[in-house]
Structure 1
Amino acid sequence: MGMQKQIEDLLQDRVFEIFYGISQIPRQSFHEEQISRYLVEWAQKRGLFVVRDKHNNVLIRKAASKAMEKEEGLILQAHMDMVCEKALASTHDFSKDPIPWNIEGDYLTTGGETTLGADDGIGMALAMALLEEEDLSGAAGFDTSLLQGTRMINLDNAKDNEILCGSCGGEAVEVKIPLNREEKKEGWKLFELCITGLKGGHSGEDIHRGHGNANKFLARVLLELEKVTELKIARIKGGTFRLAIPREASLVLALPQDKEEEAREKCGQVYKNLKEEYLSAAEKLEIKMCPYNGQITEVHDAEKIIHMIMFSPDNIFEMNSDMENLVSSSDNMGELYLTDGMLHIVYEIRAARNSARDYIAQVIERLAEMMGGSSQVHSAYPGWDYHANSVLRKFAVKVFIEQNGQKPISRCVHAGLECGCFFETMPELDAISIGPNCEGLHSPQEKLSISSTKKMYKILKKIIEEMYK
């Protein structure tokens, strides 16, 4: 069966038909205008109550049947944006191109070209399909007074055998470090150093998996180069978004022409060491040093750059002392670039407690000050605390057992879910998070299980039916 025919068959399922429509619309993080308008128009065509606020959040409400008018409503919640990552060779333009679809066995993928956007497009599709059902009665900055109900199902989980009942809060820190600039010396040669082939992934869910950070790998190479040659840096670019673990990083460096051979040997040694240290995570790792033919006359001193990358906290900060195998706090050095004589680094901090989150931010801020730079904290969001007596979770556990034949795992997660934003103004909220199996989040290897998605839709419908018997 050809790929197009497989996709056409999949689109006979209403959830995937809706998800396909969502996949045609640009929705990069911080650029949700188009998807927001699409949702409003979708709701209006179906005669549903809809409100869109100044932040592009959209609330869609379906009226209860006469028999259920006195019952408390149920809130289904998903986020509209997607993390936009693509393969180095891809020419995909996230501002206008639809997300490519490919079917590989039970998985919907993009063929490794871009992120799929199942995080959390499939959550939106599940909720929208439920709103179309005739046999069912019906984030930060959002006006929660519009909500009618205190039970909420977040649809942003990626494992169909578990129920999430708590998540971390977080915030971003942006650092700027001024660098000394000078003219490239006569007799010096330019080279481009590229690190590629790492797995990357979700800066919360995958932070403990040891995938390696391409930005950190740059420091490993530069430290070794310093042992054999003086060097300067002209350009640097690592990672693309703070929420994704960097898979690639590159820089343009200048060094004496007669030091080229020794520099290549050092790159080869670092490559060998990292392959041995990271094993399967570095299966496709490449470190290449090639002549650079661009016109560059101005270079920067490397010392501050090396120090900032070396000493920046990255990866797990602390593990949870009470819940086994759960990361308590971490940060991801997600973006690294050089412009106008300034080194820019953007971090994403995640922590179970705001105090731990803010402490990591202070560590980064102090480091920036020591390097003569500045920092800015933004995009903070609260955590979601575990609630032991969740009635909604009890309903969900019962349904999972009936549908799957086994009890689901109930756990907290080291990722940021929007539930925490709602709890700030709705402390009485009862919330869970569920969703179908999805792997490789925040990377071009993202893939969504087709069978799991269909199973999750049945579970979701059954939870609602159980609640309103």
Structure 2
Amino acid sequence: MSELSQLSPKTLWNIFAKICAIPHPSYHEEELATHIMEWAAKQGIPAERDQVGNILLRKPATPGMEKRKPVVLQAHLDMVPQKNNGTVHDFTKDPIRPYIDNGWVKARGTTLGADNGIGMASALAVLGDDSVEHGPLEVLLTMTEEAGMDGAFGLQPNWLQGEILINTDSETEGEIYMGCAGGVDFITTQPLQREALQAGFTTLTLTLKGLKGGHSGADIHLGLGNANKLMARFLCVHGEEFGVRLLDLNGGTLRNAIPREAIAHLAVPTEKLAGFKTAVAAFLNTVTFALAAVEKNIEFVVEATANDGKALTKESQGRFLGLLNATPNGVLRMSDDVKGVVETSLNVGVVTMNENEAQIICLVRSLIDSGKDYVVSMLTSLGELAGAKTTPKGGYPGWKPDPTSPIMAQVREVYQGLFNKTPNIMVIHAGLECGLFKKPYPDMDMVSIGPTITGPHSPDEQVHIGSVELYWQLLTTLLKAIPERA
């Protein structure tokens, strides 16, 4: 914490350090929410919460700026909990441990929570720093964005008074976002049949690990390895060859994070064990070569383990592995309208298995509703072919770009004036809450900005220190430049 206090802007970094010190993964934001409410009370800042837990803080205009258009600064309270293999960390109890490394702030073995903790810290810093000039100001902090946008779904009309909303959840300095993809979770549940193993098998644990992982929207175009898909690929190719019987398979932890690890418990005929291990080594060489440009640390490890559980029947195993192997993953289509941006994708994020059923949880994203609907239709058809139950869940709309947006034009003008260069006006494939805000507040003018964050949703997450200072200059200058109401 003291290390971050050396950085500028000091108020922002001190607040971010405090955010890191309070556990706040999705569905566990209450301790942080309570801290913010207590902080606001000490600052004399009015604060309230709505029925879903969102926090709204208000600050009057700087004297002489009362007639400016009222602005909402918006961030989300939760962070994505991901850790490196071997890192001992309980995200519900343990603080994040940030440190400075060559111009970046990182965390020790876990996600940092700069997504969206830096944006949250910037909004609170504006409230706490009386030297920042602004018109009527609100700060909206939403609940559980990363696991389903619960706070945005629950936002009610007539609570916010602002006419302009500045979302702080973007992750590239020098880019202004005016639109984003919509999404929907897709859950495929397959019943399983099991039977006792006969004699002559050796039980093993097969672990695929060392993948980078990442954000299933912002990083989906990078071609990173997906542990669930790679495990299914291996078992489909070599399972029948070596008479492998599957006892259990689990991979990934979040539907919006590219899975970094998958673990299968297997039984292999003892006489085929040596050949099976050779196949594992050969497959590792294959994927290491194929993914060499993006994955440097892939491991595929075989360990002998005791397991007295029942194996899937051959028919049940074939249906499940065939379904997982056939499920599409990654970029499905690039946008024709926004060059270089993904239109439609999906992430095979989580695979779980218990005694009676297996679940495959995907996150589908698309800039257009028809793209999202097509992927849902495709996954439904696959599930039907495999005898599985399929459930689309938690769909949320995209944020339709408005090229005539006054606040977008003003951000561009302020950025150019500050830094003597033109920012990129972008549409992002990741999901932002702005599309959901448009339902209760259809006339609100919205834009999204932020500093440079790489590796979000993975333990490689880091935020560029210099970009935070540039973002702060942009944000505070923009607030000062907001025009008067017509």
Alignment TM class, shorter chain as reference: over 0.9
Q: Are 1:427 and 2:460 counterparts? A: no
1:298 aligned partner, one-letter code:
K
**Matches of residues 6-17 of structure 1 in structure 2 within 5 Å?**
6-10=3-7, 13-17=10-14
Deviation at 1:46, TM superposition (A): 1.7
- CA change 1:11–1:299 in 2 (3 A) is farther
Q: Are 1:116 and 2:128 counterparts? A: no
Deviation at 1:223, TM superposition (A): 2.2
Corresponding residue for residue 300 of structure 2? 287
Q: Are 1:31 and 2:10 counterparts? A: no
Deviation at 1:11, TM superposition (A): 8.4
**Matches of residues 16-415 of structure 1 in structure 2 within 5 Å?**
16-65=13-62, 67-111=64-108, 113-135=109-131, 136-137=133-134, 138=137, 139-293=152-306, 295-301=307-313, 302-415=317-430
Q: Is the 8 A contact 2:177 2:449 kept in 1?
A: yes
2:116 aligned partner, one-letter code:
D
Deviation at 1:186, TM superposition (A): 0.9
Deviation at 1:285, TM superposition (A): 0.7
2:450 aligned partner, one-letter code:
G
Q: Is the 8 A contact 1:40 1:52 kept in 2?
A: no
Q: Is the 8 A contact 1:11 1:17 kept in 2?
A: no
Deviation at 1:85, TM superposition (A): 0.5
Q: Is the 8 A contact 2:351 2:358 kept in 1?
A: yes
Normalised to the residue count of structure 2, the TM-score between the two structures is 0.92
Instruction: Say what the alpha-carbon RMSD is for the aligned residues.
Output: 1.6
Work out the CA distance in 1 between the residues paired with 2:64 and 2:309: 76
Per-residue deviation, residues 193-225 of structure 1 (Å, max 9, x unmatched):
111111110000000100110101002211232
Corresponding residue for residue 464 of structure 1? 479
Work out the CA distance in 1 between the residues paired with 2:64 and 2:214: 46
Per-residue deviation, residues 325-371 of structure 1 (Å, max 9, x unmatched):
11111110000111132111111111112232122122222222222
Farther-moved stretch of structure 1 (93-102 vs 128-137): 128-137
Deviation at 1:65, TM superposition (A): 4.2
Work out the CA distance in 2 between the residues paired with 1:370 and 1:241: 26
- CA change 1:105–1:282 in 2 (3 A) is closer
Farther-moved stretch of structure 1 (240-249 vs 56-65): 56-65
3-state SS of the aligned residue for 2:116? helix
Q: Which runs of 5+ in 2 are unaligned?
A: 138-151
Work out the CA distance in 2 between the residues paired with 1:354 and 1:152: 24
Normalised to the residue count of structure 1, the TM-score between the two structures is 0.95
Farther-moved stretch of structure 1 (223-232 vs 262-271): 223-232
Work out the CA distance in 2 between the residues paired with 1:468 and 1:33: 36
Work out the CA distance in 1 between the residues paired with 2:111 and 2:238: 34
- CA change 1:262–1:224 in 2 (3 A) is farther
Deviation at 1:12, TM superposition (A): 7.9
- CA change 1:6–1:39 in 2 (3 A) is closer
Corresponding residue for residue 141 of structure 2? none
Farther-moved stretch of structure 1 (429-438 vs 22-31): 22-31
Farther-moved stretch of structure 1 (38-47 vs 380-389): 38-47
Work out the CA distance in 1 between the residues paired with 2:89 and 2:446: 37
2:67 aligned partner, one-letter code:
K
1:284 aligned partner, one-letter code:
N
Work out the CA distance in 2 between the residues paired with 1:268 and 1:87: 23
Q: Which runs of 5+ in 1 are unaligned?
A: none
Q: Is the 8 A contact 1:119 1:441 kept in 2?
A: yes
Q: Is the 8 A contact 1:220 1:270 kept in 2?
A: no
Work out the CA distance in 2 between the residues paired with 1:338 and 1:260: 24
Corresponding residue for residue 143 of structure 2? none
Per-residue deviation, residues 388-436 of structure 1 (Å, max 9, x unmatched):
1111112111121122221000010101001111112222121111111
3-state SS of the aligned residue for 2:395? strand
Work out the CA distance in 2 between the residues paired with 1:30 and 1:327: 29
Deviation at 1:166, TM superposition (A): 0.4
Work out the CA distance in 2 between the residues paired with 1:91 and 1:409: 40
Q: Is the 8 A contact 1:32 1:56 kept in 2?
A: no
| Identical-pair percentage | 33
Work out the CA distance in 1 between the residues paired with 2:379 and 2:27: 24
Q: Is the 8 A contact 1:72 1:148 kept in 2?
A: no
Farther-moved stretch of structure 1 (403-412 vs 370-379): 370-379
Farther-moved stretch of structure 1 (148-157 vs 273-282): 273-282
Deviation at 1:88, TM superposition (A): 0.8
Q: Is the 8 A contact 2:9 2:469 kept in 1?
A: no
